[in-house]
């Protein structure tokens, strides 16, 4: 996944700014309904709401949906995470028109291997979204975050 500045230069988010993401839609990574009920909140959605308020960029909380619960991804390597997330995330049919050719900023709380973000990006692109950027609050980079045997 390429890194791209979203808060300065051409890719700036915010009121009255130009660039590729000036008409972007903020979309949080979804939780499965069971996880949402258990936790009581979606941390990615909370970040997305705050960012939308701060920047004035439009927010769509329900563009993506988790189709089935997944086991906890903690301790899984990149390949195991990819397998666990295969066909788990989809775009809500009612949101396809809103997403059509529109730039999207996917909001996630923590990125480890990028498997969740990749699954979400695939669902968004399959539904006709324009360019998709990923914005995370934290990135796990320490050794052992993913199993060494899964490293490319």
β 58-59/64-66 pair status? unpaired
Q: How far is C-alpha 119 from the chain's CA centre?
A: 9
Pairing of strands 132-139, 89-91: unpaired
Ordered by start, the domain boundaries in the chain are 22-150
As a whole number of angstroms, the distance between CA 23 and CA 148 comes to 40
Nearest to 116 by CA among 128, 104, 134: 134
Let me know if 3 is exposed, middle or buried by CB neighbors in 10 A (0-12, 13-18, 19+): exposed
The tens-digit pLDDT sequence of the chain (152 residues) is: 444 444 444 445 555 555 556 689 999 999 989 988 999 999 999 999 999 999 889 999 999 999 988 777 777 777 888 787 788 899 998 998 999 999 999 999 998 888 889 999 999 999 999 999 999 999 887 655 555 445 44
DSSP conformation letters of 54-76? HH--EE-TTSEEESS-----TT-
Name which CATH class applies to 22-150.
Answer: alpha beta
């Amino acid at each position: 996944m390429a890194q791209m500045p979203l808060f300065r230069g051409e890719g700036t988010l915010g009121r009255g700014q130009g660039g590729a993401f000036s008409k972007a839609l903020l979309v949080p990574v979804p939780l499965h309904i069971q996880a949402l009920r258990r936790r009581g909140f979606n941390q990615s959605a909370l970040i997305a709401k705050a960012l939308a308020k701060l920047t004035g960029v439009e927010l769509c909380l329900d563009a993506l949906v988790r189709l089935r619960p997944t086991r906890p991804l903690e301790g899984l390597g990149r390949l195991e995470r990819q397998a666990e997330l295969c066909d788990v995330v989809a775009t809500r049919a009612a949101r396809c028109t809103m997403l059509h050719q529109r730039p999207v900023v996917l909001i996630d709380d923590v990125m480890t291997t990028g498997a969740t973000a990749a699954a979400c990006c695939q669902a968004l692109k399959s539904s006709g979204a324009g360019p998709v950027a990923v914005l995370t609050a934290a990135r796990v980079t320490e050794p052992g975050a993913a199993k060494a045997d899964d490293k490319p």
